[in-house]
Amino acid sequence: MRIKAKTTVKKRDKAFITRKRFCRFCVDKVKAIDYKDSKRLEVFIKERGKIVSSRHSGNCAKHQRLVVEAIKKARFLALLPYSRV
């Protein structure tokens, strides 16, 4: 008769430091997001040209929609690139 020994595997405790994400437009009390302000909008575009999600940027839903709309207008008018390859 064979008896199996119980083995316990402990997960390593990973310490994640989480910061409270905040909407920078709410903090600055920005009323409108201008599509002509390309320096401000470039922060919300990844290296390959994708728009950064609200989870990563920290924007609230209202301002994320305005940012996306402004980026799309700026791209159409060639103020921002569609891709950065």
pLDDT of residue 37: 93
Q: Residues 1-41: pLDDT tens digits?
A: 666 666 665 566 667 777 778 899 999 999 899 999 999 99
H helix intervals, the chain: 24-28, 38-42, 54-57, 61-76
Looking at the domain 27-76, which fold is it? Answer: 30s Ribosomal Protein S18 (4.10.640)
Average pLDDT of span 33-53: 94
Average pLDDT of span 61-72: 96
Cβ neighbour number for residue 81 with a 10 Å cutoff:
12
Q: How many residues does the chain have?
A: 85
CB burial string 39-56: b at 16+ within 10 A, e below: eebeebbeeeeebbebee
pLDDT of residue 5: 64
- CA 75 to chain CA centroid, nearest Å: 19
